[in-house]
Structure 1
Amino acid sequence: MLRSLLGFLPWIVYAVIATSDNWRYGAVAGLVIALAVIVADRRAGKDWDQMVIESSAAVFFTVITLISFVSPDSPLMPYGPALVNVWLGITSWGSLAIRKPFTLGIARSMTPPEVWRTPQFYRVNAIITSVWGVSFIVAAVSLAALLHVAPHATAAVLVIKIVTFVAPAVFTARYPKIVEARYAA
């Protein structure tokens, strides 16, 4: 489980660094970490479907890095935390739209192959990905609204970021066990 959360490291680093209005440095750090995680994961034998969040991070941070250097005073800058969650929401819902929830590849690395083709396996991952998607969109809307009215509400921004990350992470850890217990009964 902890290894699968490594994919969120670029986003977490960006969230910490960019909060202090250093969005350029946060974007560069996010990009460097995303690329490093991808390289390390590929060397470790991970397939691309196990690295959806990492790949998404590389694309996002490439774009944000370019914007941050080409237009350092971009009107997007204050909304960086919301943009992250919009992008992650698009990643989540996009993966569901193509019927490949981003959690499938991660879950395959933690379950036996005979489980992978069951409808329950897909359904559990679709539900988990949906929970992440809802959380990302709730965070995006909350952060955009908050940053619009109170651009320097750092503590509130951090609370939203933490809650909207921890809640789906806890759900991700617990939900498969609940489903497994239900089928065992």
Structure 2
Amino acid sequence: MRGLLGFLPWIVYAFIATGDEWRWGAIAGLVIAAALVTIDRRSGKAWDEIVIETSAAVFFACLTVFSLVVPDSPLTPYGPALVNVWLAGTAWGSLAIRKPFTLGIARTMAPKEVWETPRFYRVNAVITTVWAAAFTVAAVSLTLVLSVAPHATTLVIAIKALSFALPAVFTAWYPKRVRRSLVNEG
């Protein structure tokens, strides 16, 4: 579950960035993401282990600048959707270059002898696809909700929570299922 700490900047942003406060949310997300990247790199983590943290640092740096330059942007209410668009792009992009973002994290928890196996890659491609799909569905859902009911806070929170909780549960469950199937085959 250490890999989920990489989502902390996104979660903090989600709590702080409400309406007019998106600037503070962006700044908080940037500070946390930069701290995570710095701490992780100093502790010897490879770049592929901190894809989400690095993506957060880039996103929140851009959003911080944008929110300070254009504080009254018509995009302000769509901050939650923008987060999910970016995360979906990160996840789908990592799949497109055949380096699922979960791969580096999974290597820290798996024996070295399985790292290069097709099954290990496949498990991580499936997990990353689930995250990518969840972020995509959340981006579309949040865009629709925020455009027709901008004050539907409970629904927005539910969508945001589910877009993290469901793939997190899948991430914990799926590798165990694959291991059980291997035992049953052997």
TM-score normalised by the chain length of structure 2: 0.97
**Could you tell me which residue of structure 2 aligns to residue 147 of structure 1?**
146
Q: Displacement, 1:9?
A: 0.3
> What residue identity is the alignment partner of 1:119?
P
In 1, Cα distance between the equivalents of 2:117 and 2:101? 17
1:7 and 2:1 matched = no
Q: Displacement, 1:153?
A: 1.2
In 2, Cα distance between the equivalents of 1:75 and 1:109? 42
**Could you tell me which residue of structure 2 aligns to residue 56 of structure 1?**
55
Q: Displacement, 1:93?
A: 0.3
**Could you tell me which residue of structure 1 aligns to residue 40 of structure 2?**
41
Q: Displacement, 1:25?
A: 0.2
Q: Which moved more, 1:119-128 or 1:14-23?
A: 14-23
The aligned runs of 1:6-155 (5 Å cut-off) are 6-19=5-18, 21-155=20-154
Q: Displacement, 1:20?
A: 5.1
In 1, Cα distance between the equivalents of 2:26 and 2:144? 22
In 1, Cα distance between the equivalents of 2:18 and 2:182? 44
Q: Which moved more, 1:95-104 or 1:36-45?
A: 36-45
Segments ≥4 residues shifted beyond 4 Å: none
In 2, Cα distance between the equivalents of 1:72 and 1:166? 31
In 1, Cα distance between the equivalents of 2:20 and 2:120? 42
* Equivalent residues of 1:19, 1:154 under 8 A apart: no
CA-atom RMSD, angstroms?
A: 0.7
* Equivalent residues of 1:23, 1:80 under 8 A apart: yes
Specify the SS of the correspondent of 1:157: helix
> What residue identity is the alignment partner of 1:32?
V
* Equivalent residues of 1:93, 1:130 under 8 A apart: yes
In 2, Cα distance between the equivalents of 1:45 and 1:184? 34
Structure 2 runs not aligned, ≥5 long: none
Q: Displacement, 1:21?
A: 3.5
**Could you tell me which residue of structure 1 aligns to residue 172 of structure 2?**
173
In 1, Cα distance between the equivalents of 2:166 and 2:19? 24
Q: Displacement, 1:164?
A: 1.2
Count of aligned residue pairs for this structure pair: 184
Q: Displacement, 1:50?
A: 0.3
> What residue identity is the alignment partner of 1:93?
W
* Equivalent residues of 2:48, 2:101 under 8 A apart: yes
Q: Displacement, 1:19?
A: 2.8
Report sequence identity in percent. 68
